[in-house]
Structure 1
Amino acid sequence: MIDPTARVHPDARLAPDVEVGPYAVIGPKVQIGAGSVIGPHAVITGDTRIGRNNRIFQFASIGEIPQDKKYHADDDTRLEIGDDNTIREFCTINTGTVGGGGLTRLGDNNWLMAYVHIAHDCLVGSHTIFANSSSLAGHVVVEDHVILGGFSLVHQFCALGAHSFLAVSSVVLKDVPPFVMAEGNSARPRGINTEGLRRRGFTGDDITAIRNAYKTLYRNGLRLNEALAVLDGEGCSHVADMAAFVRRSQRGIIR
């Protein structure tokens, strides 16, 4: 299952059925779970733990040191990747930094297209899609079911709420609340992700409540604290999730 030209460190821990392609390089602190496939010329290094049934394509760089001048060679930081992820050609995912918590994490069932970059200390949930050349700066939080259009960029310390959607080439400088579609440089709200919600089984009543919450937040001329007071009285769990996200935002939301 391991090509004879691959370089797998003897201390690396690979499940017996892991496939490793020609000229791949796997470092001493790497762990890879059952059913995973590592493509030709991929490099997996650092303190990196990869779960089950992941497909990492050729020329990906996984677990390399962060692009952060404060990082030191003896810093104890790591990368964790869950199960059932697809990581396409030339993707780069770095380990964390001591100052950022020491951990970069990618959840389960994510789809990363070619040339995606996930920087140090990013926390990415599950069921996300990163289109070609989309990039996260350091310390970004991406919640579940988020879609990033091709060439979209997210500034450090920003957060993307669950089920949000970034259009192609968007530049995100503030947080994007759950369910919101954003577009532009810098990104602005453009409605809710109606089609995505339908595909994921949200009911018509759910979508109507979310749409009304969006209007309260963005279209009714209310100040942010006034809008949040209205959302608190809606009695819908999805609207409550949106309000909670806005309240914990550190950079402020796009508006």
Structure 2
Amino acid sequence: MIEIHGLAKKFAVANPKKLSEQEKQDPRLKGRFFHSVEDVSFKCDAGKVLGLLGPNGAGKTTTLRMLSTAIKPTAGSLMIKGVDVLANPIEARRKLGFLSGSTGLYGRLSGRENITYFGRLHGVSEQEIRQRIDDLADLLDMHSFLDRRCEGYSTGMKQKVSIARAVIHQPEAVILDEPTTGLDIMATQTVLNFIRGLKEKGIPVIFSTHHLDEVDELCDSVTVIDKGRNRFNGSLDEFRGLSSGSMHESFMTTLTEQGGH
């Protein structure tokens, strides 16, 4: 299970005068601090996929970066498979596979070398790394480009290698921040099928996306955040029930209802 409660994060504003008019109007700007996340809570059980939704700038990526131990929250608690992320960040990292918004691959290395490097960082043996890369290449359809330098990869190739890199150590929980952005239909389907495979293994998956059809196809529950706060937490059926069945209408409804759920 992945569980976060009352999560908040504020950032100091170095020069408030340089903020855009839109940023100045954001209610999260308070004095010399911008409260990117103010109060976010959700949980994702084993073998479930949670769709994390929200408009650009809602605080989704900041929330996921806190969960991944990349940044520390100002307030709140985070648990991954029974491990307190704040108290034991190194142990939490071992249990977690995290795909960030940027692939961050080493361009002069091949896909195989990138994945191998991260496997070694996690202490996976050379024999296990080789076997797992072969398995992941089958699952993500990577055999044709795995031994080419990453600097010549398409967006889809980079994303597939980045996903493999995130799970090479066989994590017990996985966070994917917009994993299908920029992918064509075939590559997107490959990634969605891979997520289904994680689900079948009982691994909880947090899946951030702007594509509501993917949420409809893949997710068990939905969390919507806007301006750093929960607007909805519930099952996929409950989310659909906010409208006449249109995922888009349901999403818009959560943004116009001030209280959220």
State the TM-score bracket (shorter-chain normalisation). under 0.3
Relative contact order higher in (CA < 8 Å, ≥ 6 apart): 2
TM-score scaled to structure 1, two decimals?
A: 0.27
TM-score scaled to structure 2, two decimals?
A: 0.26
